[in-house]
A and B are shown apart, each in its own frame.
Chain A
Amino acid sequence: MANLAFHAPDTVKEATELLAANKGARPLAGGTDLIVQMQSGRMAPEAIVDIKRIASLGEIREEADHFAVGAAVACTALKDNKALVDEWPGVVEAANLIGSVQVRNRATMAGNLCNASPAADSVPALVAAGATAIVAGPSGEREVPVEQIPTGQGQTSLGDGEFVSEIRIPRQQKGGSDAYLRSIPRTEMDIAVVGAGASVTVDGSGTCTAARVAIGAAAPTVLLVEDAGKALVGSKLDDGAIAKMMEAVSAACKPIDDKRGTVAYRKTTAGVLAKRVVEIARQRAGEN
């Protein structure tokens, strides 16, 4: 790692310029992936651009139609925003399953997204919530659904000089809520063997009017299972609809055998977790 440069800009513009100037530059937020990869030799950046001194990136703004979560907001800080916790408990709990408390005091959802691990915990919940990412780059900003950021294991759609500066989550609908669960062998500290995030909106009669189900660690990138959502919309989230949803989930999964889990286990458990998160989301939605 000869001549590694360390920068700590205080504006987004400066950050994009530094990233654009050096193809080997990497943005640093929490560092809980980047630093691990540098130490193991998996990543050898030529420059580090620490975004944590950019004031706006450390804030959560409550706008009329969305939450704007700055890319430098640590996972634990999400829990301090009452409105976010009320409206998207699943997103907050997903982000707060990553690693340990020590890790979560540094890790960010933007970093979790851009690290592009298929098993990232915050991503299925963000996808289920219909979140978008603000991509800052040399030619300005663009907004994309979060599921378009990771393109494969460790790969993103970000171009030269670009980084995710903000995650936007729509304000919650009346009668809507979400949940996230993951399968791990221990109780903490593991990478998800499979993860499921769901958001549902239920009307006064108990009918589901909107649903999104996303599965993690069952494919190279997060799966937004459209058929799973379709199976739920229009139903009363009864056993039959749930069973159809589970089938859609299992059918959509394209997992692999690896050191953390088997194909069979991931397929089966994805369905189990999807059922459970839909149930939790429904209960929460009923209270909303």
Chain B
Amino acid sequence: MRYTENIKRLVRKSYLKNLHVPAGAEMDERILGDALTAMEDSKKARPALVRPNFGRTIMKKKIIKLATAAVIIVAVVLSVSILSNSTSTVWAIEDTAEALDQFDAVYVYGVAAPSLEALEQGFDKEIIGALLKDRTMPIEVEFWARANEERTQSGNIRIETSDGLVGTADDTKTYIYEPNSNTVYVQQGCHIMIEPWLSGDFLLKLKEFTEDWQVTYGKDSAKGKDLAFITCTAPSLSHSMWIAIDLETNLPVRYKIWHNTKRKGIPAYDMQRIIFFEELPDERFQLQIPEGAKVVEY
């Protein structure tokens, strides 16, 4: 990992940055001049095509259902000791926004307690019944996800719980394997997702959207890393959050969400380990149907 990062940095900073390229008004004039001439010639050849045609604009609105195990990302408790302002490094939101935009995939481990309301928004009632039967919340969960092309939400996701439940989802279908009944539930559409995606743009909007945004500093006593801690509240959603940022990588490493504005009680999502990847292989998001499992489609 370190080697890869070093080579990438070398390519960016020492190779691409120093790469000599032609420049000058003469070059711009030649290229733009020829391109503009080509554009005019094409316009003459297809005059009808360059008139505005607003009537043909079709706006597609994607209806997104929120699912439970999904709204997430992040966080936790481990051994973090807050030593207020004990580090000399000052965190800047722009650095984390930039760092987040380098990655398209994420692995998250933690504890989650999705609400029934959230489940009901995503799944068929019979599936919810099967999911909640003999299962207590909160539950240990880990998931792998990669962003959709627009980086607005996850495009593929795989979720696994400590008691063997496995779910995968993409744009078209959601699969959930429930081990107690040895059943695979298949539902049309995407019902497990991370939305919004943890992009730089999202972080910047989060700061604008939330209230009481505060940053403190401390150390992860287990790993000795300097961290910045963000706390904020979203009163309109009755949510509050806590995010830990590693000051070396500028990436979030832990995250908690409470379904109240005071950060009181057990968080609904207490995500304790977050690892970002540039990409994850397709196989990670495919569900292998266990032998003998019943498949029920909705």
Chain A bound to chain B: no
